[in-house]
Amino acid sequence: MNRRSAQSDMGLIVKTTARATIPLIGIFGAYIVSHGHLTPGGGFQGGATIAGAGILFLIAFGLGEMKRRYNHHLYSALEGLGGLVFLGAAMLGLGVAFFYNTLWHNGPVFNGQPGTLLSAGYLPVMNLAVGLKVFAGLVSAMVAIAAYRRWNE
């Protein structure tokens, strides 16, 4: 067995465990992003957690399988979209103040009750945007590092 195939073959136990835990890591990361204004966490922490699922996939299944499933253009677009949504949410209140909360003030549907999921105005939107940007950026960086390391061998 040569060195290259030994690096990408992690074995049945690792691959089966990764298949079982990757969706759970993704769900937990989405929970951290969506509840970041109510509990410790937020966009960066949740995005890094979701990126951990992608990094686990890269480690368990190897760079070859990751290259087959990874679309650089999609991840680049997601990272750009996250940044644009964050900046767009910040600019919406620019007539009054930068990051002014013009979303979900006391109304019939979103009454701003403290402790509810939609009580924080722009914070959930910004957490989602930051989470998307961090997830796409970290996964892209790890794929680039792994590809560069493989290219250097």
Helix (H, G, I), strand (E, B) or coil at 126: helix
Task: Give a yes or no: residue 5 inside a domain.
Answer: no
Task: Give a yes or no: residue 67 inside a domain.
Answer: yes
- The C-alpha atoms of residue 48 and residue 105 are separated, in whole angstroms, by 30
- The C-alpha atoms of residue 117 and residue 127 are separated, in whole angstroms, by 12
Say what the pLDDT of residue 118 is.
Answer: 63
The whole domain housing 76 covers 12-149
Burial bucket for residue 53 (CB in 10 Å: 0-12, 13-18, 19+): buried
Say what the pLDDT of residue 124 is.
Answer: 81
- Which residues of the chain, if any, have pLDDT below 70? 1-8, 93-119, 152-153
Task: Give a yes or no: residue 82 inside a domain.
Answer: yes
Task: Give a yes or no: residue 1 inside a domain.
Answer: no
Say what the pLDDT of residue 48 is.
Answer: 95
Task: Give a yes or no: residue 28 inside a domain.
Answer: yes
Helix (H, G, I), strand (E, B) or coil at 135: helix
Task: Give a yes or no: residue 6 inside a domain.
Answer: no
Task: Give a yes or no: residue 2 inside a domain.
Answer: no
Say what the pLDDT of residue 1 is.
Answer: 45
- The C-alpha atoms of residue 119 and residue 143 are separated, in whole angstroms, by 37
- Whole-model pTM: value is 0.78
Who's near 21: CB < 8 A, 6+ residues apart? 53, 56
- Under DSSP, the state recorded for 111 is -
CA distances from 32 to 38, 42, 133 (A): 10, 6, 15
The number of distinct structural domains making up the chain is: 1
Say what the pLDDT of residue 32 is.
Answer: 92
Say what the pLDDT of residue 34 is.
Answer: 87
- Under DSSP, the state recorded for 28 is H
Chain centre to alpha carbon of residue 28: 11
Task: Give a yes or no: residue 96 inside a domain.
Answer: yes
pLDDT digits (tens, 9 = 90+) for 12-36: 999 999 999 999 999 999 999 988 8
Say what the pLDDT of residue 114 is.
Answer: 63
